[in-house]
Amino acid sequence: MKIASWNVNSLRVRLPQVLRWLDTQRPDVLAMQETKTEDKDFPVEEFSAAGYNAVCSGQPTYNGVAILSRDEPENVLTALPDFTDPQRRVLAASIGALRIVDLYVPNGQSLESDKYRYKLDWLAQLDLWVGELTRQHPNLVLLGDFNIAPDDRDVHDPKVWAGQVLVSEPERAAFRKFEARGLKDSFRLHEQGGGHFSWWDYRAAGFRRNLGLRIDHILLSPALAERCASASIDREPRGWERPSDHAPVLAEITLP
DNA sequence: ATGGCCTGCAACGCAGGA
């Protein structure tokens, strides 16, 4: 079972790349973020022709999440429970034996911004839900753009980034709470070194110089972490013409 | 070289991202 997450930064612009990537990698599940596409405009038929079911939760201009899967998605949820929010950032679906929860965590903008407060509140509400999810679903996958670099190995220049949004201590503490609930960062099951990133700034030749952050993650419940055969970041699409600023991240799980 | 880009919407600049 190959599971992937990709912040595509506009599905309208990136559809050809997503189709190309699906054709190459053939993941069983692809969770996308920042589709920036209303549900009525979602390219269901293009994905169907590629062999994928699709569920989506979008809005104009901003945010938007979607899950593609080879098997039929069931029990779809499109919001954090008990959290009123017009922003489309959450999509959950059961696919085969797995509960998939696709997240586009708020960016936060800066520590002084109202958007940072919103991010921390959002993460606190998510944590409450994750508590329920871990009890209800032994095969839980929590994945997406977390907009958090969990530790300094995940930052190209920790001194430059110290204390800034995406690396600040309250955000990292929120990430550790998911781990305290038993979820495992699949990438770190297989790689302990630094210098592995999932996002690079469009400016300053960030990708060429590997000035990036690892902020896209696939978290696995203990039962799935035991069966995680590999985890990786596919840098290739970041090198394509007109790329997303994020790379797809992958985890392979050997189901019985 | 200490700043550099991209997207959508609208309207010919802005907000937002990270």
What per-residue confidence (pLDDT) applies to A53? 98
- Residue pLDDT tens, chain A, 256 long: 999 999 999 999 999 999 999 999 999 999 999 999 999 999 999 999 999 999 999 999 999 999 999 999 999 999 999 999 999 999 999 999 999 999 999 999 999 999 999 999 999 999 999 999 999 999 999 999 999 999 999 999 999 999 999 999 999 999 999 999 999 999 999 999 999 999 999 999 999 999 999 999 999 999 999 999 999 999 999 999 999 999 999 999 999 8
- What's the CA gap between A244 and A17, in Å, rounded? 9
Q: Cβ of residue A215 near strand B, that is under 7 Å?
A: yes
**Smallest CA–C1' distance to B4, residue:** A204
User: What does each C-alpha distance from A105 to A72, A89, A188, A216 come to in angstroms?
Assistant: 25, 7, 20, 10
Q: Residue A174 — φ and ψ, nearest 5°?
A: -65, -40
Q: Looking at the DSSP assignment, which residues form a beta bridge with residue A91? A: A102
What per-residue confidence (pLDDT) applies to A73? 98
- What's the CA gap between A87 and A170, in Å, rounded? 22
Helix axes A114-136, A169-180, angle to 10 degrees: 10
**Which amino acid is it at A147?**
N
Which residue numbers of A are catalytic?
A: 104, 145
Q: List the A256 CA – B17 C1' distance (angstroms).
A: 40
In this prediction the pTM is 0.97
> Nearest nucleotide by C1' from A211 CA?
B18
> What beta strand segments (E) does chain A contain?
2-7, 29-33, 53-57, 65-69, 73-77, 90-95, 98-104, 140-145, 184-185, 199-200, 212-213, 216-220, 228-233, 249-253
Q: Cβ of residue A47 near strand B, that is under 7 Å?
A: no
